Amino acid sequence: MIKKLLLIGMLSTLLVGFKAIAQAAGTATLSWDPYPNPSGLFIKVYGVAGSNTVFTAGNANATTITSTQASNTSLTVTNLPVGYWTFVATAATAITGGVESTNSNVAVGLIRPGAVTTLRITGTTP
């Protein structure tokens, strides 16, 4: 009986530890150069978990993290699962639909629990 209770206690400890690891998240702050005439333009940010990522046509394999007005020069993405993340951005004429530029450079960063990773995106042209 004591062995059984010890085993249950050990399993409970392992499961609680696993749950804490699975829920760990971090933050990425992405920034870019300002546009000289940002009126009517948006920045779309795409992300894929992993560091050796190739974005497919139209970024179909990526998650659209968010969109923001091109007058903004940075964006903070919260609650990212820990590990490496790869980001690109496009300039777009609309949040949905519209015309999008080619991808920016690829920005890769290691997201750590409770930490902020700062990445720079360049090469996004309208």
Q: pLDDT tens per residue, the chain (126 residues)?
A: 444 433 333 333 333 333 334 458 999 999 888 877 778 888 888 888 888 777 766 777 777 778 888 888 898 989 999 999 988 888 888 877 788 888 888 889 999 998 888 888 776 554
* Nearest residue to 79 (alpha-carbon basis) of 30, 115, 25: 25
Q: Which domains does the chain have, with CATH numbers?
A: 25-120 (2.60.40.10)
The H or E element containing residue 107 is: strand 107-111
3-state secondary structure of 5: helix
The encoded tokens of residue 119 equal 């990445």
pTM over 0.75: no
| Residue 73: burial class (beta carbons within 10 Å; 0-12, 13-18, 19+) | middle
Amino acid at 6: L
d(CA 65, CA 33): 19
